Structure 1
Amino acid sequence: MPIPDFIVKTREKIGHDPMWLPAVTAVVLRDSTDDSPWAVPEVLLVKRADNGTWTPVTGICDPGEDPHVTAVREVREETGLDTRVDALLAVGATRPVVHANGDQATYMSICLRLSVTDDSQAPAVGDDENSEVGWFSIAHMPVENPEWRLVIADAAAQRKHPGNFSPRLGLRKRT
């Protein structure tokens, strides 16, 4: 379901006015399926049905739902994969967004690194929010947005050197 019921009900009262919403970005990584010594991790990406861009799995927290629970739920709903949360990557506000229907929102995004619990599972499109899903080498991923690329790079860095990693505070590229 693209728009949670609680947002639909709130929108009936406030129209398209700006909303402040808690959200997650779930960066799911796995070891490369390439046997080369220079192989880099693979990242799970979804191709958004609304604008055709490739992104990590994202979603809005339900009222009272912890972000780590949201991340696991969203990955399962959007890709069919069971995951576990491994690390906090970043916390910060997104840029204001105006959705295609005119709704305005800014998201407080909690970015988490996850891993699959069963490597034999294959991802599949699980809802109408996305048109494709797949694993991509982080060296050759179709992600164009520099802010998404940064959080994916953070996930790879945290995975490789967890003791030297500090979560990023703030998500927007500074100009």
Structure 2
Amino acid sequence: MATPEFVLELRRFVGTRPLPLSGVTAVILRGDEVLLGRRSDNGALTPITGIIDPGEEPATAAAREAEEEAGVRIRVDRLAWVHQIPRVTYENGDRSDYLDLTFRCTWVSGEPYPADGEMTEVGWYRLDDLTGVGDEMRARIAAALEDGPTRFEGGR
């Protein structure tokens, strides 16, 4: 499902005004490979991403999105990066401000495939060749590969 029902319900009240939402990025690793998919809405090559449902734990959301979008089971290992994404304006005028929680994850089982239509293709890509991956998503992948504490933007 591209847009969660709770977001559609909120849009009935707020219209196209900026809507603050929390999302997850699951950087799923298998050896020296990362799972990426080509988004059906804009053709971008990205890790698995999604919106956190009301009352849902963020790590649970990352695992759910991996299964829903790519048909794989994962282990969520750690929170790698917390950052605000610049405002997104969609073709219909809706505006959203996403707080992204990027997780480092490990593939457990399942052969990836575009399970729910949000991706047109899903597969494993070598970490040393991320041709076609945009800068923002490269930054999320890099954060997940770093050892050490969670990265926070704007922290003092």
Please indicate, yes or no, whether the TM-score normalized by the shorter chain is above 0.5.
yes
- The residue that corresponds to 1:6 in the other structure is 6
Structure number with the higher strand fraction is 2
Structure 1 residues 123-174: Cα deviation after superposition (integer angstroms, max 9, x where no partner): 010112111101000111234321211221222233xxxxxx1211129xxx
Q: CA RMSD in A?
A: 1.3
List structure 1 segments (4+ residues) > 4 angstroms apart after TM superposition. Answer: none
Does 2:149 match 1:166? Answer: yes
Partner of 1:38: none
- Secondary structure of 1:107's partner? strand
1:123 aligned residue (91, 112, 116) = 112
Instruction: Tell me the equivalent position of 2:146.
Output: 157
Q: Distance in 2 between matches of 1:155 and 1:53?
A: 19
Normalised by the length of structure 1, the TM-score is 0.84
Do structure 1's residue 138 and structure 2's residue 121 form an aligned pair? no
For the pair shown, which has the larger CA radius of gyration, 1 or 2?
1
Gaps of 5+ in 1: 32-40, 159-164
Q: Distance in 1 between matches of 2:143 and 2:9?
A: 36
Query: Any stretches of 5+ residues in structure 2 without a counterpart?
Result: none
- DSSP-derived class of the 1:166 partner: coil
Equivalent residues, number:
154
Give 3-state SS (helix, strand or coil) of 2:149's partner.
coil
Aligned to 1:80: 71
TM-score by length of 2: 0.93
1:49-93 deviation digits (Å, cap 9, x = unpaired): 111010111000000101000000000000000111011100011
